[in-house]
Amino acid sequence: MAPSASASSGRTHPARVIAWRSATSRGPAARASARDSGPPYRPSRAGGAARLRASSLPGGHGARRDPLPALGGALGTGVDRGHGRDTGPSTTAEEGTPRTIHPVDRRFVLEPFEPAYLAAYRDGRLAERVEAARAELASCRACPRDCDVDRLAGETGVCHVGRHAPVASAFAHFGEEDCLRGWAGSGTIFFGSCNLRCVFCQNWDISQRPAGPELTADRLASLMLELQDQGCHNVNLVTPEHVVPQVIEAVAEAVPLGLRVPIVYNTSAYDALRSLRLLDGLVDVYMPDLKFWRPETARRLARAADYPQRAREAILEMHRQVGDLRVGPDGLARRGLIVRHLVMPGLGDETEAILGWLAREVSPDAFVNVMGQYRPEHRVGTPDRAGRVRHGEIDRRPSTDELAAAHAAARRAGLWRV
């Protein structure tokens, strides 16, 4: 999800950068039409279980749409260079194995559905949140770094992001979990910069500093609508922890212009509770990546010793807001929590602790993606000033046995939607 969890853990996919067009260039009807253009869901014959298999859908697994023509850098320099980002790929222990959603249990079907933000728009809560979001920027504690800087005045803190949100790329993503990518892709918006400093980040070139043009709320809203117009099933905000206020401003702009797809909040889980409470009733799908269990590991690998505690608090709050993942009859995610966990080499005990906590404290029905695609990146394996290899203990991929042990730990914990 990495620069957030997502970016630091993701397998690279070729990106397609969306062209930016005016939000007013199309009406709500056209947007609704684009949204509903997917094929009907067909239950699998095998067991009659409801599954959404990308391989059986038009274009097949991993297929992607042709990119829209770039509009001469309308997003500004940097965005149209096509970052090969992934937000935390959807594979099982064997990398490259497409992950299918678990057979749909009636308890986890949500129908009818409308995005949560519509009710917030109608009853005025969304407008109130915009005011609160702007106030947050004036003395920023939007994430656990608690910088207390005035971002409205252009000051910056640990994330290096001021008034507006930098967007590194945006495109229909076909590497996400099946319930997100469906047949038309997940509409990912990759924000530049991050509030973590993961030494293994696979998107380090956009996570360590703001990357891409800084978009005002109306331009970010336009981008959301453009992804919806493409037919994407959702708007997937990748590494949004440090731009929550700006996201709220943009959603408020996009809803009256026709935004109707669910918002996916794709995060490292290093989120402030105050920001999550601002998002309550606006986000339908939370997708945190729970990375570490021990503070010392988080300090060493992400420069955030408080990460485990903050992430656990954040995930409990996310679950309180949206509950376990529920899907539509088409198998697409509608509302709920999707937890990712990247298996790291040599950290099997932390994996076991994390999965046990999820089953015990969050829900045995939690939808969990145990990811096996870690690879050494960024600072891992590079020499320090003395010529010693940095982070040599994670300078390898996890072994087959380690991945199998992680899945066994999930089963032992009682997690079944894995």
Strands (E), 144-277: 165-173, 186-191, 214-215, 235-238, 263-267
Give residue number: closest CB to ligand SF4.
Answer: 157
Q: Taking the complex as a whole, how short is the minimal distance between the CB of residue 272 and ligand SF4, in angstroms? A: 7
Cα–Cα–Cα angle for 129, 131, 134, rounded to 5 degrees: 105
Q: Which is nearer to ligand SF4, 159 or 184 (CB)?
A: 159
Tell me how crowded residue 172 is: count the other CB atoms within 10 A of its CB.
23
Q: What is the 8-class DSSP label of residue 297?
A: H
Q: Taking the complex as a whole, how short is the minimal distance between the CB of residue 173 and ligand SF4, in angstroms? A: 24
Q: Which is nearer to ligand SF4, 195 or 268 (CB)?
A: 195
Q: Taking the complex as a whole, how short is the minimal distance between the CB of residue 1 and ligand SF4, in angstroms? A: 17
Q: Which is nearer to ligand SF4, 255 or 269 (CB)?
A: 269
Q: Which is nearer to ligand SF4, 282 or 370 (CB)?
A: 282
Q: Which is nearer to ligand SF4, 141 or 396 (CB)?
A: 141
- Upper half-sphere CA count for residue 2 (Cβ side, 13 Å): 36
Q: Taking the complex as a whole, how short is the minimal distance between the CB of residue 309 and ligand SF4, in angstroms? A: 16
- Residues 6+ positions from 412 with CB-CB distance below 8 Å: none
Q: Are 290 and 340 in contact (CB under 8 A)?
A: yes
Q: Taking the complex as a whole, how short is the minimal distance between the CB of residue 7 and ligand SF4, in angstroms? A: 16
Give the 3-state DSSP-derived string for 332-344, with helices as H, strands as E and coil as C.
CEEEEEEEEEECC
Q: Taking the complex as a whole, how short is the minimal distance between the CB of residue 136 and ligand SF4, in angstroms? A: 8
Tokens of 161: 């992001």
Binding site for ligand SF4 (CB under 6 A): 140-143, 145-147, 149, 157-159, 161, 195, 242
Question: What DSSP string describes 300-348?
Answer: HHHS-TTHHHHHHHHHHHHHHHH-B-EE-TTS-EEEEEEEEEE--TT-H
Q: Which is nearer to ligand SF4, 145 or 335 (CB)?
A: 145
Tokens of 19: 């062209």
